[in-house]
Amino acid sequence: MIYLDYAATTPLDPQVRAAMLPWLETDAGFGNPASDHALGRRARKAVEAARAQVAALLGASAEEIIWTSGATESNNLAIKGALEFRGRANAHVISSRIEHKSVLDTLRYLETQGLRVTYLTPAASGVIEPEQVRAALRPDTALVSLMWVNNETGAINPVLELASELRARGVLVHIDAVQAAGKIAVDLAQLPADLLSVSAHKLYGPKGIGALFVRKRPRARLSPQIHGGGHEQGMRSGTLATHQIVGFGAACALAAAQLGEEGDRIRALRERLQRQLQSALPEVLLNAPAAADARAPGILNLSFTGVEGESLRAMLPELMVSSGSACSSATREPSYVLRALGRSDELAGASLRLSLGRYTTAGQVDAAATQIIAAVQFLRELSPQGSGAGTAEPLLKDNVYEYPAPAWQRFAHLKHDGRLPEDAEVLTAEADSAAARSLLRLQLRVHGRQVRETRFQAYGCPIAIAVGEYLAERLEADGLDALGAISAAVLRDALEISEDKAHCALMGEDVLRALLQKTGGKT
């Protein structure tokens, strides 16, 4: 397997793991950092050392770092806490349509409480331009919340330019820096942001620990969102997890030590991957600024025209890649970020986010490019818009997305894909599923009542393709009699098609009806 999903999470660095282990031992590492005895003091010293390490990576002071459970909590605390402290429930906030869900969902909740929000639409490159923010400012604007680096496209927003101007206007600035910290230089001595969110597991630290930078001078004030105990300067109560915090600190220290060198290496690998894909495949669209330095080093987001996204991902079982943010993947909707950039639902669905990291090698990049190229070429030829000449079928071993076995067997081992040359014996029919943007073409070479040869082409998900293979297989075996014998219900039963994929079976029934009409309705 090749892991290319570093933007979703990163593996724990071995040095980070080694730093954490002593704090999981029962003899000396389990003390509560809030306790005043020797074990507590020892744990507290480790927590404060880690706080200094996180602060050093960000160019902040240690007292400005507040521990949280991760970026989602940091973003909630920053936005809700700042507005609540200021008593500005009905204030105006500026954000964008491409923020992380933990920002967007927080703002949408606050809108139900009276908050007014302007959601900026990015340029086609995925960048929020300073002019857009300036134009959206109002006298009652209390907060601007923007991400530094977009988690899907890698586009870098001009937060440094914006923050100074917003501070002069008395507007609080919150930056989601989860994809920036440890990837590009972050210096809060130069960036006058009031609040900044980071997370450990995006930079080779443990999951379940994050931090919120809260500026001391001038002081950004927050109302706590978790009460009880008054920990973290009263802003975030709860017993601190020493082992996770130590791991976060170690991860930040490692990131700071190799920031420039690691970034250059990863950027070179990303450019290598992009060159291979775009040189071998036409109509591959970059979802990000064209300039290499206008994107974070490790993220490459591409849309592949002429292929259906679900089938593309199913044909890449050896690649751990994403089609969007891991935090919103449960919806199975096309990426809202790419749609905000102007991509159609179809193109957004046919996109891959390929994110590289510390352990990515040139060999992995080359192997990934080879697999993606083969899958895209195969699916384009399989489509009714393809020539039907066919390409070498990629070898699919693992049913990682757990499709029903009868459907997967046919999708993974196509025998009837392609196109028959048109002549008097060939019947051709097409049917589509408009809602799913799927298309199925089925061809029969008929002699009398016999079907001597069948071919199909399909554009759609693996189930739609499996339907085409099943129909071609049955008609070749049973002849024209099968035209009236196979219904959507039969297809669903034979391929174990679930309710959410029932449209594929209906499309199969429709193409059979179209063929039946061409035979004069006789079966």
How is residue 366 written in tokens? 């080359």
Q: Which of 293, 329, 236 is nearest to 7 (CA)?
A: 329
How is residue 368 written in tokens? 């990934």
Task: Give 205's DSSP letter.
Answer: S
State how far the alpha carbon of 519 is from the alpha carbons of 13, 286, 384, 418, 419, in Å.
Answer: 65, 47, 22, 22, 20
State how far the alpha carbon of 126 is from the alpha carbons of 75, 97, 136, 145, in Å.
Answer: 21, 10, 18, 16
Task: Give 148's DSSP letter.
Answer: S
Percent of the chain as helix, strand, coil, to the nearest 5: 45, 15, 40
Coil, strand or helix: which one is 354? strand
Coil, strand or helix: which one is 4? coil
- Count of C-beta atoms within a 10 Å radius of residue 292: 13
Q: Is the dihedral of CA 368, 369, 373, 374 positive or negative?
A: negative
> What does the alpha-carbon distance between residue 288 and residue 278 come to, in Å, rounded to a whole number?
14
CB–CB of 9/202 below 8 Å? yes
End-to-end C-alpha distance for the chain, whole angstroms: 49
CB–CB of 349/339 below 8 Å? no
State how far the alpha carbon of 347 is from the alpha carbons of 287, 336, 377, 382, 434, in Å.
Answer: 10, 12, 16, 18, 15
- According to DSSP H, which parts of 169-292 are helical? 242-257, 259-280
Amino acid making up residue 177:
A
Task: Give 51's DSSP letter.
Answer: H
Please report which helix (H) or strand (E) contains residue 507, including its range: helix 502-518
327 as an active site residue: the answer is yes
Catalytic residue, candidates 252, 327, 461, 504: 327
Q: Which of 193, 214, 234 is nearest to 78 (CA)?
A: 214
The beta-carbon contacts of 261-267 under 8 Å, at least 24 apart in sequence, are 262/358, 263/183, 263/184, 263/297, 264/297, 266/297, 266/298, 266/356, 266/357, 266/358, 266/360, 267/292, 267/297, 267/298
Prior bond of 122 cis (ω within 30°): no
CB–CB of 504/467 below 8 Å? yes
Residues serving a catalytic function are 327
